Amino acid sequence: MWYSGYVDASIWYLVIATLAMTHLTLLGVTLYLHRHCAHRALELHGALKHFFRFWLWLTTGMITREWVAIHRKHHATCESIDDPHSPRHKGLARVLWRGAELYRDEAKNPDTLRVYGKHCPDDWVERHVYSRYPNGGVAVMALVDVVLFGAIGLTVWAVQMIWVAFWAAGVVNGLGHAIGYRNFESPDASTNLLPWGLLVVGEELHNNHHTYPNSAKLSVRAWEFDPGWAWIRLFRFLGLARVVRVAPVAYRVPGKRRLDAETSMAIFNDRFQVMAQYRRRVILPLAVQESIRAEASVRRLIRRAKRLLVRESSRLDTRQQETVRLILSASPVLRCVYERRLTLQATLARAQGPDTSSAIARWIGESETSQIRLLADFAALLRTYSLRCA
């Protein structure tokens, strides 16, 4: 019968088919729109690019140039009033539940498309089909779902339509700037979300991405899982993809003591990991030690607010800044390592050059002579950095 569709599918078949199709849609978003078009971290075979463009036209109606331009603007203006979907300025609830509307609103801004929408597909099919009839694809998809699955195909189609709008435009752009954990203290509020990897194909590792936006691989820690990277490795094996860039890998040579240009370059290339290591190896352990030694009132203050010492200073509000000031005034040790952190961060924020190399060497030398053992040990660790394996 017409209402049962060409495929007389069970409920579990429908669930699996829907998840497979939505997974394919998000794969198109993360591999084609995001990692390939927006950041050029990945090169895809022409056939694969055309397939993803066609599938995204069917399942989202998104225009490549609009999506890419809005995403690039998000990175360029992150957390500012000009950010197209910042929870800080738009409100978390609005981004979470109406993220797709924010995309559509920003797509109407010609300046956004002109400034950030460069180097996107502009061939005949893009101009005369995808961009000209953005709703044509979703209408075709609705027809296909009804023909295949019957009346319930409209439910399958509805899930397809809201999937990217909720998970990518809502959850990643909303919760990915509000809750979760941070591997790196980037200036923005980006976070990593777990355990949504299988649903959003690795895009939940948002803090990693904002730290290394031009990396084709979004995971950085051993226990993090980026399904998109697994697909990239498969496509690369099949000759359908080429990785252009990933996050830099720094090597350490045990026993290395000489501070040369290679050491400086390795530290600079790995600067985000260096600052994350400083947080884990120096500040947080010392905060624990100082809280044990301190009097009761200071002990409670340090234990409650120690993570403010490793937060990006631009992200501290007035009250938090006062809390940090109280902690540092009560502990000369924490004040020393906190100031050392700010100095190292400022040094690594400058463009790589001779002055940066000498500043890194000076920071290491001064830290090694410190009476604070964890700080001296960390400085000695930096001496072992190298661009190549031993």
**pLDDT tens digits, 166-205:** 998 899 999 999 999 999 998 899 999 987 666 889 999 9
Q: Report the pLDDT value the prediction gives residue 275, as an integer from 0 to 100.
A: 95
Contact by Cβ (8 Å): 331, 302: yes
Compute the distance between CA of residue 249 and CA of residue 271 in angstroms, rounded to an integer: 11
Structure tokens belonging to residue 299: 């002990």
Q: Write down the mean pLDDT value for the chain.
A: 92
Q: Report the pLDDT value the prediction gives residue 379, as an integer from 0 to 100.
A: 96
Give the percent of the chain with pLDDT over 90.
79
**DSSP code per residue over 20-63:** HHHHHHHHIIIIIIIIIIIT--EEE-HHHHHHHHHHHHHHT---
Q: Report the pLDDT value the prediction gives residue 294, as an integer from 0 to 100.
A: 85
Question: C-alpha 335: how far from its chain's center?
Answer: 31
Question: C-alpha 226: how far from its chain's center?
Answer: 11
Compute the distance between CA of residue 139 and CA of residue 363 in angstroms, rounded to an integer: 61
Q: Report the pLDDT value the prediction gives residue 295, as an integer from 0 to 100.
A: 87
Compute the distance between CA of residue 204 and CA of residue 192 in angstroms, rounded to an integer: 6
Compute the distance between CA of residue 351 and CA of residue 91 in angstroms, rounded to an integer: 35
Q: Report the pLDDT value the prediction gives residue 3, as an integer from 0 to 100.
A: 60
Structure tokens belonging to residue 97: 């539940």
What is the pLDDT averaged over residues 346-356? Answer: 84
In terms of pLDDT, which residue wins out, 314 or 22? 22
Tell me whether strands 385-386 and 251-252 are parallel, antiparallel or unpaired: antiparallel
Compute the distance between CA of residue 232 and CA of residue 226 in angstroms, rounded to an integer: 10
Give the percent of the chain with pLDDT over 70.
97
Compute the distance between CA of residue 315 and CA of residue 207 in angstroms, rounded to an integer: 14
Give the model's confidence band at 314: pLDDT under 50 very low, under 70 low, under 90 confident, else very high.
confident
- Using only C-alpha atoms, the chain has a radius of gyration, in whole angstroms, of 25
**Among candidate residues 164, 53, 52, 155, the one with its CA nearest the CA of residue 100:** 164
Contacts with 151 (C-beta within 8 Å, 6 or more apart), sequence order? 3, 5
Q: Report the pLDDT value the prediction gives residue 356, as an integer from 0 to 100.
A: 86
Compute the distance between CA of residue 91 and CA of residue 103 in angstroms, rounded to an integer: 15
Compute the distance between CA of residue 54 and CA of residue 379 in angstroms, rounded to an integer: 52
Contacts with 80 (C-beta within 8 Å, 6 or more apart), sequence order? 86, 89
Dihedral (CA of 259, 265, 266, 267) sign: positive
For residue 155, what are the CA distances in angstroms to 136, 161, 362?
19, 10, 64
Residue 249: exposure state from Cβ atoms within 10 A (0-12, 13-18, ≥19) = exposed
Dihedral (CA of 186, 187, 192, 197) sign: negative
pLDDT in tens, 78-129: 999 999 999 999 999 999 999 999 999 999 999 999 999 999 999 999 999 9
pLDDT in tens, 9-58: 788 999 999 999 999 999 999 999 999 999 999 999 999 999 999 999 99
Q: Report the pLDDT value the prediction gives residue 195, as an integer from 0 to 100.
A: 72
Domains of the chain, by residue range, sit at 2-243, 252-386
Compute the distance between CA of residue 248 and CA of residue 271 in angstroms, rounded to an integer: 10
pLDDT in tens, 236-256: 999 999 999 999 888 888 888
Tell me whether strands 385-386 and 42-44 are parallel, antiparallel or unpaired: unpaired
Contact by Cβ (8 Å): 42, 119: no
For 223, other C-beta atoms within 10 Å of its C-beta total 6
Return the axis-axis angle of helices 261-269 and 354-368, rounded to nearest 10°: 90
Which H helix or E strand runs over 241?
strand 241-243
Which amino acid belongs to residue 327?
I
Which pTM does this prediction carry?
0.89
Give the model's confidence band at 4: pLDDT under 50 very low, under 70 low, under 90 confident, else very high.
low
pLDDT in tens, 137-162: 999 999 999 999 998 999 999 999 99
